[in-house]
């Protein structure tokens, strides 16, 4: 497929990417403890995958309250910034382009992960169900548990959180990243403000859809002003089904997801940011993304559009050829195949994924997947 759409140039912000294959944010839980610090092993992992046109890091919490799973990295301390600098230098040594995904889980957390054992924070004091968080039970060991009941953020605290996102973006620039992706998907904090299911506020951040989008609007505007709009992307996960799988996926299914997310995408278009990344439902037998929604996304947003789902090289190329996407992200295949762009170009077979080593651990299942050899 070396002559396919995957290997035609594409512009993203100030970058001309070498291909249209993206490494999406993938939680791997390998940060150094204590401190949730990016390390040399993580630098090796991302450098191995620098053949992607764009790399986006795993979700990286912007503050201590933003953590929902043990051993995920942060970007709010000097030590964490220094750790991430090892990663960016390793990727840039291979001519890669890498963005940091800025993450706050909101209510998808547990008191064991929160400073001083406090309750997690959210748009409203509404608990989530059918999801789990991962807490440490001993050195290198942990367990999945239900999230703790959250408390509602005050109006002043919401305004402070906007500033924390801006500071995290500033920290990412100090660490050498080429840009940041704001994680506004999968039922985490920004999504909790957008959704009528999780946002029952009666201040300027709740009520109407316009108000529920205010937190998103202020974060996007503030980060774009701080580091430059050409260095900013946003990830959404619009879900168009209300099945149990959708709730387990952390998704919040709106009464009218099409209208909700087109309005949210207008926020991004008005800010002029570099890209929009859309995570599709990826469980077995998940419903396809509606074509009418894809068309309206393209008509609404003039930056680069990225889709992530259970794409193969063939289905991804078809999506690029349709004009609905500018890049396609591959998650599980990129975990198991660090040389995935070369494998796609040459139609080489793929390594199988070992699900047992996806989360936590050491080099096994992380940096030891082999490159292709005939």
Extract the runs of DSSP E, i.e. beta strands, from 237-285.
275-279
CA distances from 223 to 172, 211, 218, 287, 334 (A): 11, 19, 8, 34, 29
Rounded Cα distance, 216 and 240, in Å: 21
Question: Residue 58 in contact with residue 27, Cβ under 8 Å?
Answer: yes
Extract the runs of DSSP E, i.e. beta strands, from 188-309.
232-236, 275-279, 304-308
Extract the runs of DSSP E, i.e. beta strands, from 72-224.
98-103, 121-122, 133-138, 141-145, 151-152, 179-183
Active site residue 311: no
Angle at 84 between CA 79 and CA 17, to 5 degrees: 160
Residue tagged active-site, from 46, 69, 165, 188: 188
CA distances from 184 to 236, 247, 265, 273 (A): 5, 16, 11, 14
Picking from 262, 275, 270, the residue whose alpha carbon sits closest to that of residue 209 is 262
| Residues noted as catalytic | 188
């Amino acid at each position: 497929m070396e002559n396919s759409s995957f290997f035609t140039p594409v512009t993203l912000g100030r970058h001309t990417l070498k291909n249209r294959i993206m490494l999406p944010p993938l939680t791997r839980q390998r940060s150094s403890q204590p401190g949730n610090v990016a390390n040399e092993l993580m630098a090796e992992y991302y450098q191995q995958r620098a053949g992607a046109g764009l790399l986006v890091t795993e979700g990286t919490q912007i503050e201590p309250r933003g953590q929902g799973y043990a051993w995920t990295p942060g970007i709010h301390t000097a030590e964490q910034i220094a750790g991430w600098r090892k990663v960016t230098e390793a990727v840039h040594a291979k001519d890669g382009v890498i963005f940091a995904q800025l993450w706050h889980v909101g209510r998808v957390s547990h008191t064991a992960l929160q400073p001083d054992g406090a309750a997690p924070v959210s748009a409203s004091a509404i608990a989530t169900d059918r999801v789990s968080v991962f807490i440490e039970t001993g050195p290198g060991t942990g367990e999945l548990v239900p999230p703790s009941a959250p408390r509602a953020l005050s109006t002043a605290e919401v305004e402070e959180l906007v500033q924390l996102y801006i500071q995290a973006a500033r920290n990412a620039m100090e660490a050498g990243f080429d840009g940041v992706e704001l994680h506004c998907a999968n039922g985490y904090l920004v999504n909790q403000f957008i959704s009528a299911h999780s946002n029952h506020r009666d201040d300027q951040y709740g009520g109407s859809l316009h108000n529920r989008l205010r937190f998103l609007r202020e974060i996007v505007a503030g980060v774009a002003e701080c580091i430059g709009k050409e260095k900013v992307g946003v990830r959404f996960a619009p879900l168009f089904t209300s099945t149990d799988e959708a709730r387990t996926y952390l998704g919040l299914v709106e009464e009218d997801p099409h209208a909700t997310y087109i309005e949210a995408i207008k926020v991004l278009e008005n800010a002029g940011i570099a890209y929009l990344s859309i995570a599709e439902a990826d469980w077995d037998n998940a419903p396809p993304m509606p074509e009418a929604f894809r068309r309206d996304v393209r008509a609404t947003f003039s930056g680069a559009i990225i889709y992530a789902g259970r794409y193969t090289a063939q289905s991804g190329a078809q999506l690029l050829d349709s004009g609905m996407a500018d890049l396609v992200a591959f998650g599980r295949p990129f975990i198991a195949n660090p040389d995935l762009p070369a494998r796609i170009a040459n139609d080489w077979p793929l390594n199988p994924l070992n699900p047992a080593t996806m989360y936590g651990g050491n080099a096994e299942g992380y940096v030891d997947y082999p490159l292709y050899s005939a």
